[in-house]
Amino acid sequence: MSVATRAYLDHNATTPVRPEVVQAMVRALELAGNPSSIHAEGRAARSAVEHAREQVAGLVGAKAANVVFTGGGTEANATLLSPGLMDCDGGRDCVRIPTSLLLHGATEHPCVRDGHRFPAQAVEFIPVDAEGIVDAAWLAARLERFAVERPGARALVSAHLANNETGVIQPLAEIASIAKRFGALLHSDAVQAAGKIDVDIESLGMDVLTLSAHKLGGPKGVGAIVFRTGALELADKPLRGGGQERGWRAGTENVPGIVGFGVAAAMAAQALATEGPRLATLRDRLEAGLLALAPQSAIFGRGAPRLPNTSAFATPGLSAETTLIKLDLAGVALSSGSACSSGKVRRSHVLTAMGVDPAMSAGALRASLGWTTCEAEIDLFLAAYAKALAAIPDRSARAAA
């Protein structure tokens, strides 16, 4: 059995780029043309972009024409979550949707919670239960009340497919059914789910979803908005200019990044059937070892469907910040939750929404696995965690752990 000297268990923050992706990006860097140019060099660059569009669409069961590339998942969400959204209903004349209310899950990523462009008074959280699952009954009641209060108006519901901290998977098909019943649009931040579980925009009933390349073995700084149909339009697109990406995102396309995204998406789709079970086995090994070391540890969201690669946990007596430092020095890279907070360790809004005790959430850590993860890395983590437990100063706390 191999022995790991370093364990990278922070794939939900960013997944190491696959070698095949690097090679494809290097080749794309050598393409001389601008994708908007009509000469042979430009057409070659355009061909590379359109091939990647097909690959990304294939990952989520969409049509290539309905994929819009962006500068990442955060930009994709910020672009889309706007009261300027319009529904063209497939016809020639677009009818402005009075999207005067945004309802989003209380455990959404900060780029949804804070990055949308709705006024504060037009935004409400959808509560979640102790496992982090959105309250479908609350959502139905709120949309019903909205329909009575604002006849003819339209709401936008945003619910991520899988949580970045706990890995908890939301019942998107049920949420979509509720949204459709009351004429609401449904957006899903599928950044963490794509490439880890099967994602099909049609069968799940989402109107639009958003993706990011660096969560599935692609490069950082490239993402996508994916529509179920071509009916949605936006009056106030943030980046206007040359009309690239069907006018949704002006500016010369990041050809190497987009090509890398496409290769990563294709590889993730191909490996989905085998990689999911493999990661679930490794995650279960980690959690079993953790509970053997510290039976009083909590594994958050364990009672709900979860991504196969994600485990969020805490042990009484261990603080997140101190433990992260100790684990890093021992060769193990973990996270305390979302990695999009400028390197800060702060209390998780996700666990707060789930009703987790503040003392417990202060010690919450997240291990997230990926294509590079092996058994030796899990063993290295467990050995390092055992040392962290042994260093708990209070004997009663250590005994409880």
334 plus 192 within the same structural domain:
no
204 plus 172 within the same structural domain:
yes
* Alpha-carbon gap, residue 137 to 28, rounded angstroms: 49
Angle 375-390/255-293 helices, nearest 10 degrees? 50
171 plus 40 within the same structural domain:
yes
* Alpha-carbon gap, residue 68 to 312, rounded angstroms: 32
> According to the model, what pLDDT value does residue 338 have?
47
* Pair 387, 186: CB distance under 8 Å: no
Phi/psi of residue 67, each to 5°?
Answer: -105, 130
Domain-located, residue 366: yes
**Residue the block writes with tokens 């469907």:** 305
Domain-located, residue 323: yes
**Boundary-marking domain end, from 266, 284, 313:** 266
* Pair 272, 283: CB distance under 8 Å: no
* Alpha-carbon gap, residue 11 to 162, rounded angstroms: 14
52 plus 90 within the same structural domain:
yes
Higher pLDDT residue, 339 or 80? 80
* Alpha-carbon gap, residue 320 to 335, rounded angstroms: 9
Strands of 95-96's sheet in order across:
95-96, 85-87, 232-234
Radius of gyration of the chain from its Cα atoms, rounded to whole angstroms: 22
- In the chain, how many domains are there? 2
Domain-located, residue 1: no
Q: Is the pLDDT of residue 89 over 70?
A: no
Q: How many CB atoms lie within 10 A of CB 43?
A: 13
Domain-located, residue 258: yes
* Pair 156, 99: CB distance under 8 Å: yes
Higher pLDDT residue, 392 or 65? 65
Question: Alpha carbon 114 to chain centroid distance?
Answer: 15
152 plus 258 within the same structural domain:
yes
Residue type, 251: G
195 plus 288 within the same structural domain:
no
Question: Alpha carbon 66 to chain centroid distance?
Answer: 19
142 plus 33 within the same structural domain:
yes
CA distances from 165 to 82, 132, 182, 364 (A): 25, 10, 30, 10
And the tokens for 257?
Answer: 């990044």
* Alpha-carbon gap, residue 53 to 55, rounded angstroms: 5
* Alpha-carbon gap, residue 53 to 32, rounded angstroms: 20
**Boundary-marking domain end, from 266, 299, 315:** 266
> According to the model, what pLDDT value does residue 65 have?
95
Active site residues: 340
In this structure, of 244-248, 319-323, 350-354, the range with the lowest mean pLDDT score is: 244-248
Q: Helix or strand or coil: residue 64? A: helix
Q: Is the pLDDT of residue 355 over 70?
A: yes
135 plus 254 within the same structural domain:
yes
> According to the model, what pLDDT value does residue 85 have?
81
> According to the model, what pLDDT value does residue 396 have?
46
Residues 265, 85, 139, CA angle at the centre, nearest 5°?
A: 85
Q: Which residues, in sequence order, are bridge partners of residue 305?
A: none
Read off the CATH number of the domain in which 195 is found: 3.40.640.10
290 plus 371 within the same structural domain:
yes
Kindly report whether the global pTM for this prediction surpasses the value 0.85: yes
* Alpha-carbon gap, residue 66 to 160, rounded angstroms: 19
**285-314 per-position pLDDT tens digit:** 999 999 999 999 999 999 999 999 999 999
Domain-located, residue 2: no
* Pair 286, 376: CB distance under 8 Å: no
Domain-located, residue 286: yes
- Contacts of residue 306, defined as CB under 8 A and 6 or more positions apart, other chains included, come to 162, 166, 167, 168, 169
361 plus 258 within the same structural domain:
no
* Alpha-carbon gap, residue 312 to 207, rounded angstroms: 30
**Boundary-marking domain end, from 221, 236, 266:** 266
Domain-located, residue 357: yes
Q: How many CB atoms lie within 10 A of CB 92?
A: 6
Q: Which domain holds residue 281?
A: 7-16+272-400
* Alpha-carbon gap, residue 175 to 140, rounded angstroms: 9
11 plus 30 within the same structural domain:
no
**164-188 per-position pLDDT tens digit:** 999 999 999 999 999 999 999 999 9
Tell me the pLDDT band of 365, cut-offs 50, 70 and 90.
Answer: very high
Read off the CATH number of the domain in which 396 is found: 3.90.1150.10
Q: Helix or strand or coil: residue 356? A: coil
**106-122 per-position pLDDT tens digit:** 999 988 888 788 899 99
Q: Is the pLDDT of residue 84 over 70?
A: yes
Q: Is the pLDDT of residue 397 over 50?
A: no
* Pair 198, 121: CB distance under 8 Å: no
Domain-located, residue 150: yes
Q: Is the pLDDT of residue 327 over 70?
A: yes
Which of 354, 296, 376 lies closest to 166, judged by CA?
Answer: 354
Question: Alpha carbon 257 to chain centroid distance?
Answer: 18
Residues of the chain above pLDDT 90, percent: 78
The predicted model gives 127-148 an average pLDDT of 97
Q: Is the pLDDT of residue 99 over 60?
A: yes
345 plus 370 within the same structural domain:
yes
